[in-house]
Amino acid sequence: MANTLNIVQAINQALMEEMENDETVVVYGEDVGLEGGVFRATVDLQKKFGKERVFDSPLAESAIAGTAVGMAINGLKPVVEMQFSGFVYPAFNQIISHIARMRNRSRGRYNLPMVIRTPYGGGIRALEHHSESLEAVFAHIPGLKVVIPSTPYDAKGLLIAAIRDPDPVLFWEPKRIYRAFKQEVPEGAYEIPIGKAKILQEGDDITIVTWGAMVRDVQKAVDLIKDEGIRPEIIDLRTISPMDRDSFVESVKKTGRILVVHEAPKSFGTGAEIISIVNEKAFLYLEAPPTRLTGFDTTFPLPRGEKHYIPSPERIAKTIVDVVRY
Amino acid sequence: MANTLNIVQAINQALMEEMENDETVVVYGEDVGLEGGVFRATVDLQKKFGKERVFDSPLAESAIAGTAVGMAINGLKPVVEMQFSGFVYPAFNQIISHIARMRNRSRGRYNLPMVIRTPYGGGIRALEHHSESLEAVFAHIPGLKVVIPSTPYDAKGLLIAAIRDPDPVLFWEPKRIYRAFKQEVPEGAYEIPIGKAKILQEGDDITIVTWGAMVRDVQKAVDLIKDEGIRPEIIDLRTISPMDRDSFVESVKKTGRILVVHEAPKSFGTGAEIISIVNEKAFLYLEAPPTRLTGFDTTFPLPRGEKHYIPSPERIAKTIVDVVRY
Amino acid sequence: MRLEDYNPLEDRSFSILDPDGEIINEKDMPDFTDEELLYLYKTMLYTRIIDEKALSYQRQGRMLTYAPNTGQEAAQVGSAYAMKEEDWLVPAFRELGAWLVKGVPLKNIYLYWYGNEWGSYMPEGVRVLPISIPIASQLQHAAGIGMANNIKGEKSVAVGYVGDGGTSEGDFHEALNFAAVFKAPVVFFIQNNQYAISTPRSIQTMSKNLALKAVAYNMPGILVDGNDLFAVYVATKEAIERARNGEGPSLIEAYTYRLGAHTTSDDPTKYREDEEVEKWKNKDPILRFKKYLKKKGILTDEWEEKTIEELEKEVMETFESIENKSDTEIDDIFKYHYETMPPHLEEQLNEYKAFLEGGK
Amino acid sequence: MRLEDYNPLEDRSFSILDPDGEIINEKDMPDFTDEELLYLYKTMLYTRIIDEKALSYQRQGRMLTYAPNTGQEAAQVGSAYAMKEEDWLVPAFRELGAWLVKGVPLKNIYLYWYGNEWGSYMPEGVRVLPISIPIASQLQHAAGIGMANNIKGEKSVAVGYVGDGGTSEGDFHEALNFAAVFKAPVVFFIQNNQYAISTPRSIQTMSKNLALKAVAYNMPGILVDGNDLFAVYVATKEAIERARNGEGPSLIEAYTYRLGAHTTSDDPTKYREDEEVEKWKNKDPILRFKKYLKKKGILTDEWEEKTIEELEKEVMETFESIENKSDTEIDDIFKYHYETMPPHLEEQLNEYKAFLEGGK
Ligand SMILES: Cc1ncc(C[n+]2csc(CCOP(=O)(O)OP(=O)(O)O)c2C)c(N)n1
Ligand SMILES: Cc1ncc(C[n+]2csc(CCOP(=O)(O)OP(=O)(O)O)c2C)c(N)n1
Ligand SMILES: [Mg+2]
Ligand SMILES: [Mg+2]
């Protein structure tokens, strides 16, 4: 059986099913219980599994992350929500100093099967701090996994994989496309492996790497220039760390060109890492400068300015053409 | 007049002189007052300027950073110390959500002339969290400046520039070489501009970019292979963000090769950013793959393993040769 | 009243004006002139009108996310009225009445919620910090402002606002602790409106009230009826003067209720009962103030009608003055990150402008 | 004693054994067998010997940074002795006596301070978390362990340790708050040794004692003489049993003193007077326990001499068993970041090994 679901619904279904399958899974965070989360990703979970396993927490991100460490050590699989990725920062110390390190620190004695879910990214005309895309910050920390789905199908499969992962996973959800489209999503558990990218479209003129909400914008961009005779290979990275390097390295060996598109700030972002890997592994194949099209190195603007920030399909299209015509 | 000082002493002198010159400068943090800091960088400041302007704070990094925001808005220039860079994380929310943003948020109405000083980096056989090099995390945040000196002379001049800067500066001090060597340091204030790298040695075979304690290791490495007939250009980046891009871009146009050496983890590090900039600005000049030699993508090991972590002069030397011989 | 004599562990609420507009505590009644009373009433009306208009603009799709204040006017207006011009207001994001009293132009406020950063550009002389979204983090700024006053020997006071939910954050603890340790002239003002989005106060903490958390820092704490402007004013005034006199910080819990939604994105019927809301409507801070003024013979229907009409006109004109005219300049996105724009930002700005000019 | 009846606001210290080895509170005296008393004494001796040896190895350049415990033995041993095997010990980094009672082998402890991660690999069945360096952050883990016990319906309790300095961190506040809100079976145990490195307790907080901070979370708080093993044991025992019975968390402040340096990198003469140290030497927890045992006739000089000799031998042998044999395997640096090593780590490991094999 399959249903047609959007991303929020797919996430909700993944949580439902994993809580059903595994009674050690617990869900908590700010407003996730009674009301089912500000984006309704956890809706009905409390009704179904009770207040013991699905509950509202006090307003304190460090404690949400920090208590999850204790729970994971003590046999549970906490899946906690941070209300927006811009509010993960109070939990930064717990994430970097403990969550990323407990397995290594204890030489494998204590591992942390836990997930931190949070909606990330801009484009929803929101207040300050509600549009952040700082996945690269966490990807730089040894010991973490950072996963970003771009479709309902992937969201469910990746979240299930994250919950079952014996190690901590940061699960960043592209809120701009939470409800943007629906897709057939099979009922019942399935996993999409963490650390594997997906080739969305094969081509041999240019490799385009992207993830999250930008996937659709890249697809729109490619559509805009479909008469230009360019055959791009589009890769949805799906996991930011550890990264599926082969996916784009092999692709670049074929295309000779690479464009990374992300909405996070440009400098020190994920694009830089991808480009460096390409330099290390496919230098001799490069026919044009590996290119980044990203958010600016500025704070994400309030709504009256936000349309400038996220690379538009038009800008992406122009950049694809520029790189191919280089 | 000039004195021969090591880095800690140069920092102390910079603080002394700026506190003398400008009565709005205040210094606080954990153990910085009476005892003068665990590394003695603030020694004698309290004696000289009193407990009002130099004081011990309670043990709370978020409050140290957060109160500095209020002080800076209210007319002071706080220079706060975080005891080790591994303990900056509780202050992450204040740094990223407020310190980096106050000027932009208020459209220039409130700017924050403040400095966060902290010893960073490994190699001192220390406990966990005492060896961190996560400058890239902060450099990815729009609105911050990240400065790292590598000599006593630079430490003083950069710190004075940081204190006088109308914007917040993160001043990361390479603790491994705090006392490693002395240098003539002139008395009296001088500034070294933030955002400007320094070419330590000119050459046209390879560009080596590094900073902090690795500068000396690179110099040692170059010395190890001085008979190989390789003429490297060595650049001390000095500011991680905003970066002096021209320094290495121009150099690569001459050398065709670049090696970035840092002790932070490899993936998503500063090396990636530098390599991407080189790709964007000097692609056609590249004769070999831009290369990174860095710390591993692992937690910094406890002392019995640390010798493996930081790239040794021998490894650097071998890598230089490899890149040049590519 | 003496703040030090009040024991928050006894869990009694300090109040002066009851829901029927009666003065139940003559002794502590502040000595306002009729003019002042009308100003305070007018400001509460202004606050409510701004709220109502914003909500209706939002429903019409002319306004973005907005955080309403209805029900909390006395807590906001009363506390800010206790501040002097030189005092600093350090808000969270739900302090409309306080902003107005402190001189923040409505234009700024609407501009902010309309999605433009210029809303946070405070006029010269208005010592108000921008809205701070990360919960409780702003309290540290209040503590720092107070610490700086001590260092500089200035007599101004910082008033930091936070919600009931905000008391659970680590920053709340650290800010109060720093302020106490450094005897900083700061007043921490909790608007306990019973909810943090959908999460009721009972889930935030087991402590009987929030004011008693002051005990942990050895500072005075007081629980006041937050819908009683007089009580709020008196307690805040005393806390501020205490701070100004070098006696250090205090904590005030204003017990109030958010009659509306958390923000325009929120549907409160999901998490609370109508009866609860009705109960609190009877405690409306504006209503009881009006009853008092009427009984005192200070307020006339004509004055009220005229005032409301004027205020509505002003609010509408202000909104119209920014509507559709407040798109962010591209340069503004880049210009304010550093005093001098670094080359990489300049490059990004120029590239983007070139793209726009290049058509498409 | 009833924890709930004790009021930390009164600032009285709970004690049983005075510095002269006299029982001053018969009513609360625990009912230990002679064997137990000797075990406790022996463990405190063990703790001190481990400390002394570590310091001497360190001075000889055979040991790295070490954080001494001398003076705090009663607080550590007494509290841990109140724990059952199924209870979780969540340490900061200065809990030597507690580790030993809970079954952490000395070898692990020395290995850790010797700079090898294997020190934190706890034997099966030893419910002790690794040393946590970031101050106060571990309390959240204790709260989470307790919350998990509630969810799983398990009857074990988590005891989280923190120093006086640690009470200033936001995490302290959040952890206590979570534990209280979720009625988690947790005991928060403050070793107030008067200093956080050079910073005296008086700079951490204005509150009269640290135990009273419990009031903010509506949990019991008690100030105990931390150099009195009996008092520490009784208070902790009651707090643990209370937690085990579903009555929620409590806070214990053990008032003690660090007789030595903060760590071997620290010089305490920079920030405190000799007289102060001397005063506290008279309150030595081991000395008073010894006086008590002597008076009771339980302890003989022969037993003590023999025991010390045995312990010293064991300590030296343990240290020698790890000395110079504990360099980290290169694989170990990489192997424990994830269950399965990702390709980029494998690559880095292989490249590095190839470099080492390639000579140079
Ligand atoms: C650090 C942080 N976490 C989460 C949020 C999301 N959020 C916005 S308002 C709010 C509730 C705040 O409740 P309270 O402090 O009681 O203030 P109120 O909204 O009732 O005025 C939350 C959780 C945030 N803004 N900041
Ligand atoms: C978050 C954090 N900040 C700073 C430090 C550095 N540091 C190590 S121990 C210490 C003092 C701790 O004092 P206290 O909590 O009283 O424990 P004690 O050392 O007295 O046992 C400090 C500041 C740290 N380890 N973690
Ligand atoms: Mg509230
Ligand atoms: Mg201490």
| D328 DSSP assignment | P
**pLDDT-derived band at A2, boundaries 50, 70, 90:** confident
* Domains in chain A: ranges and CATH: 2-186 (3.40.50.970), 198-324 (3.40.50.920)
Same domain, D223 and D344: no
Q: By C-alpha distance, which of A176, A97, A92 is closest to A134?
A: A92
CA-based diameter of chain D, in Å? 73
Chain C contact set for B98 (CB, 8 A) = 132, 134, 137, 141
The CA distance from B137 to A140, in Å, is 7
What's the pLDDT at B159? 98
Local structure of C338: helix, strand or coil: coil
* The dihedral formed by the CA atoms of D332, D336, D341 and D345, expressed in degrees to the nearest 10: -60
- State the CB neighbour count (10 A cutoff) for residue C152: 17
The string of pLDDT tens digits covering residues A71-82 is: 999 999 999 999
Whether the CA torsion C319, C322, C325, C330 is positive or negative: it is negative
Read off the tokens for C175: 């800010």
Co-location of D272 and D352 in the same domain:
no
Q: For residue B41, what pLDDT band results from cuts at 50, 70 and 90?
A: very high
Q: Quick one: pLDDT band at residue C218, thresholds 50, 70, 90?
A: very high
Atom from ligand 1 closest to the CA of residue C204: 16
* Residues D170, B38: C-beta atoms closer than 8 Å: no
Whether D79 contacts D236, CB under 8 Å: yes
pLDDT band at C2 (very low <50, low <70, confident <90, very high): confident
Burial A145-166 (b: 16+ CB within 10 A, else e): bbbbbbbbbbbbbbbbbbbbbe
Q: Tell which residue, A174, A173, A171, A168, has the closest CA to residue A66.
A: A168
Three-state DSSP at A65 gives helix
What's the CATH code of the domain at D97?
3.40.50.970
Strand partners, D159: D89, D187
Give helix C73-81 / helix C285-296 axis angle, nearest 10°: 60
Give me the mean pLDDT over the A95-99 stretch: 98
**Which residues, 6+ apart, have CB-to-CB distance to A66 below 8 Å?**
A91, A94, A98, D137, D139, D140, D141, D143, D144, D171, D174, D175
One domain, residues C203 and C301: yes
Residues D264 and D247 in one domain: yes
Distance between CA atoms of residues A61 and C288, nearest Å:
38
D303 and D319 both lie in a single domain = yes
The per-residue pLDDT for D360 is: 47
Report d(CA A274, CA C18) in Å as an integer.
Answer: 65
Name which of B245, B174, B177, B179 is nearest B209 in CA terms. Answer: B245
Angle formed at CA A137 by CA A131 and CA A140, multiple of 5 degrees: 155
Instruction: Give the count of domains, chain C.
Output: 2
pLDDT, mean of residues C270-299: 97
C262 catalytic residue (yes or no): yes
- Judged against a pLDDT cut of 60, whether residue C219 lies above it is answered with yes
User: Which of 179-218 (D) contact B at CB < 8 A?
Assistant: 196-199, 203-205
Whether D210 and D246 map to the same domain: the answer is yes
Q: How far apart are CA B275 and CA B296, in angstroms?
A: 18
- The DSSP letter of residue B173 is E
**Does residue C336 share a domain with residue C322?**
no
Would you state the structure tokens that stand for residue A196, as one six-digit string?
């594997």
D294 and D347 housed in the same domain: no
Who contacts B193 (Cβ-Cβ below 8 Å, separation ≥6)?
Answer: B161
Q: What pLDDT does D227 receive? A: 98
For chain C, the first-to-last Cα distance in angstroms comes to 68
Over 90: is that where the pLDDT of B2 sits?
Answer: no
Where b means 16+ CB within 10 Å and e means fewer, B164-194 reads bbebbbbbbbbbbbbeeeebebeeebeebeb
Whether D262 is a known active-site residue: answer yes
- Catalytic-labelled residue, pool D121, D271, D336, D352: D271
Question: For residue D131, what are the CA distances in angstroms to A247, D81, D89, D104?
Answer: 40, 19, 10, 12
Structure tokens at B233: 């250009």
Residue C360's pLDDT band (cuts 50, 70, 90): very low
Q: Model confidence over C126-150: pLDDT tens digits? A: 999 999 999 999 999 999 999 999 9
pLDDT of residue C359: 60
Give yes or no for a contact between D250 and D239, defined as CB atoms under 8 angstroms apart.
yes
Q: What is the mean pLDDT of residues B284-306?
A: 98
Residues C82 and C206 occupy one common structural domain: yes
Both tokens of residue A123? Answer: 């484009």
- Kindly give the distance from the C-alpha atom of residue B50 to the centroid of ligand 2, in angstroms, as a whole number: 25
- The Cα-based distances of A21 to A3, A51, A54, A163, D154 in angstroms read 19, 18, 15, 11, 21
- Whether A93 sits inside 8 A of B96 (CB atoms) is no
Using the structure block, give the residue that is written with the tokens 């949400």: A64
- For residue B72, what are the contacts with CB-CB under 8 A and spacing of at least 6? B78, B111, B112, B113, B114, B168, C144
Per-residue pLDDT of chain D (360 residues), as tens digits, is: 789 889 999 999 999 999 999 999 999 999 999 999 999 999 999 999 999 999 999 999 999 999 999 999 999 999 999 999 999 999 999 999 999 999 999 999 999 999 999 999 999 999 999 999 999 999 999 999 999 999 999 999 999 999 999 999 999 999 999 999 999 999 999 999 999 999 999 999 999 999 999 999 999 999 999 999 999 999 999 999 999 999 999 999 999 999 999 999 999 999 999 999 999 999 999 999 999 999 999 999 999 999 999 999 999 999 999 999 999 999 999 999 999 999 999 999 999 999 999 864
Q: Which residue's CA is the nearest one to ligand 2's atom 17?
A: D163
pTM of this prediction? Answer: 0.98
Instruction: Flag whether the ipTM exceeds 0.85.
Output: yes
Q: What's the average model confidence in pLDDT over B149-171? A: 98
Mean pLDDT of C254-266: 97
> Mind telling me how many Å the CA of A30 is from chain C's nearest CA?
8
pLDDT at B265 over 80: yes
Pocket flag, ligand 2, residue D104 (CB < 6 Å) = no
* CA D177/CA D215 separation, integer angstroms: 11
Could you tell me which residues come within 8 angstroms of residue B101 by beta carbon, excluding any fewer than 6 positions away? Answer: A128, A299, B143
What is the separation, in whole angstroms, between the first and last Cα of chain B? 48
Q: How far is A247 from chain C (nearest CA, A)?
A: 29
The domain of D341 spans: 329-360
Chain B residues closer than 8 Å to A141 by CB: 134, 137, 265
Pair D306, D333 in one domain: no
| Pair (C352, C283) in one structural domain | no
The rounded distance, in Å, linking the Cα atoms of A37 and A41 is 6
Mutate to test the interface with A, among C64, C112, C120, C129 (most CBs of A within 10 A): C64
Asked if residue D277 and residue D340 are part of one domain, the reply reads: no
Helices (H) and strands (E) in chain A, counts: 12, 14
